[in-house]
A and B are shown apart, each in its own frame.
Chain A
Amino acid sequence: MEKKKGQKAKTGKTGAELDFEEALRELEEIARDLEGGDMGLEESIKNFERGMELAGLCHKKLQEAEKRIKILQKAADGSFEAKEIPADHETGEIDDDMQGSLL
């Protein structure tokens, strides 16, 4: 969702600033306000656009993370690094060889 200048509805925050929970809450507020039906033309359109923007933002945030399983492993300098490992989606099984040493 592209950033919009001068967005005033509700929090007025742009997509990058909102977290998922805030966006969802604002979306709900907009739905409630529009259902209230006390808005004029301009305001309805503005809220409508904002609602669409927020819904898109929420969907995007849900898709953002990428499934990845990592495990901490000791690096050469003694610190721990998170290494990506394969894991079975159904059983949650982790490959034995990938488990490395215990912390």
Chain B
Amino acid sequence: MDRASQNERFYTVTEITKTLKSAIENSEEFNRIWIKGEIYNLTLHSSGHIYFSLKDDNAVISAVFFRSHNARLSFKLEEGMSVLAFGSLTVFEKRGSYQVNVYQLRPEGIGELQKRIEQLKKKLSEEGVFDTARKRPLPFLPRRLGIVTSPTGAAVRDIVKVALRRFPNIEIVIAPVQVQGNGAVGSIVRGIMELNRPELGIDVIIAGRGGGSFEDLMAFNEEPVVRAFYESRVPIISAVGHQIDHPLSDDAADLAAPTPSAAAEVAVPQRLELEDEINYMTLRINNAVASFLRESAMRVDAAAGRPVFRDPMTIVDERSELVADMLSEIAESLRRGVSEWRQRLLSVPGIRLLTEAIVNGKKHRFGLAVGALEKMSPLAVIRRGYAVALDEKKRAIRSVGDVDPGDPFTLVLKDGRLGCAVRTKEGGEYFGEKKGAEGKNG
């Protein structure tokens, strides 16, 4: 009897309540569960919170439906009404009681609706309506976005706003439909069908609505609507705001988004990102060509700096094999077109600047680099007054060896072509004879 005084372990009331509270509130068994019962002792508090009890023949449990959760309640609560409550059990320490914190409430008749949805889901699933294999990818760059939703809700505003922010010049076609209540099913189906008309040229459709109660979203669980998603020729995104159960339209669509704005995010690419990607690619091409030029120029210089060119007589004294090796090396580098690179491309104004800047590790702004790059294009060179000589097979004539006297060739200039013929032929470096000419590398 007198155990406490014998230092036996005991709980304070607070401790045991806290232990109980923690056991209940952390248990999956008591969290986010459905409870069926009748409403009793209903109190609509001025704070907006709703208090009631749920009871059946043998038991009763108190429930609180806070304002933040009950704002979307779409039917009128009455004493004695049979309902399904979705919520979690909590312990109220001060009163030593437990209660259900209700997140959502449905009239019990809804149990029937849910059963119907389950049956439809099974049927359509067997037909292959939800097969993931038939889902199509969304277009990479949609030109025209179709929207099937109410013209007055937040959904249409959100989609238009997000789409225009991501791609300011996108075209949008809205099919204004009724998304809930009588007539919603036919309206949504018509909307999807209309936006599928080929002459509208729509390449992706977002169909949906903002969040609502289970009954509000019901149209997106109806067979004709689910089938319209399935049958849409244009790739379609289901965008129905939901908290607990997703509608069947999500399963039939090519893609499901949790909200209308999320749908717009996945459907519409960011134009700025794409432009950055193109510019990045242009810069890479630019750098690759510039570094190719720089390496080629260095190889020519290295070859020119060899003793065989500086002081040929000392080499003659050395073993003849060595001379032969070097000569073949030079011949090889000539075959690679190294000197042509130098003559033809280093003489292009602007290329030196670009090359040097890259050599010095200077960072270019995209605009500068792209500008310089465009100047490097052989077409641009021609536009500035240079010419390209093409033989009969339209190949560039790069060496006097490519043609013989009497051969016809075409000279391409910025404003046309000249038919020409080779009169005479003479070897030797043209630019090499002029000191300080553009072609000389410093």
Contact = CB atoms under 8 A, between A and B. Distances in A.
B373 A92 contact: no
B341 interface: yes
Contacts of A70: 171-174
Contacts of A100: 151, 176
A42 interface: yes
A62 B289 CA distance: 26
Contact of A34 (B162, B164, B285): B285
Interface string A56-89: 0011011111111111100000001010000101
Contacts of A35: 284, 287-288
B176 A99 contact: yes
Contacts of A19: 140-141
B441 to A, nearest CB: 17
Contacts of A99: 151-152, 176
Interface in B132-150: 140-141, 143-144, 150
A20 B277 CA distance: 12
B171 A68 contact: yes
Contact of A48 (B177, B289, B291): B289
Given A34-B289, A62-B274, A27 B281 contact: yes
B173 A55 contact: no
Contact of A92 (B157, B194, B292): B157
A31 B187 contact: no
A19 to B, nearest CB: 7
Given A67-B168, A71-B176, A102-B178, A52 B377 contact: yes
Contact of B281 (A21, A28, A66, A90): A28
Interface core residue of A72, A96, A99 (most chain B CB under 10 Å): A72
Nearest to B176: A102
A92 to B, nearest CB: 3
A94 interface: yes
B164 A92 contact: yes
B194 A67 contact: no
Contacts of B143: 64-65
B25 interface: no
Contacts of A62: 141, 271, 274-275
A19 B144 CA distance: 15
Contacts of B337: 40-41
A55 B174 CA distance: 32
Contacts of B236: none
A11 to B, nearest CB: 16
B23 interface: no
Contacts of B150: 102
Contact of B378 (A45, A51, A101): A45
Contacts of B164: 67, 87, 89, 92
Interface core residue of B175, B281, B377, B395 (most chain A CB under 10 Å): B281
B170 A67 contact: yes
A46 B177 CA distance: 53
B176 A58 contact: no
B190 interface: yes
A37 to B, nearest CB: 6
A93 interface: yes
Contacts of A103: 175-178, 187, 190-191, 194
B278 A27 contact: yes
A82 B344 CA distance: 56
B236 to A, nearest CB: 16
Given A65-B167, A67-B164, A92-B158, 17 more contacts: A24-B274, A27-B281, A28-B281, A31-B285, A34-B288, A40-B336, A44-B292, A52-B285, A59-B278, A66-B169, A69-B174, A71-B151, A71-B173, A72-B176, A72-B195, A92-B156, A102-B150
27 contacts: A24-B274, A24-B278, A34-B289, A34-B292, A40-B336, A44-B292, A48-B285, A48-B289, A48-B377, A51-B285, A52-B285, A62-B141, A65-B171, A67-B170, A69-B172, A70-B173, A70-B174, A87-B164, A90-B161, A91-B161, A92-B158, A92-B159, A99-B152, A100-B176, A102-B150, A102-B178, A103-B175
Q: Pick the 9 closest A-B CB pairs, nearest first.
A: A92-B161, A92-B160, A34-B288, A21-B140, A31-B284, A92-B157, A99-B151, A20-B141, A51-B285
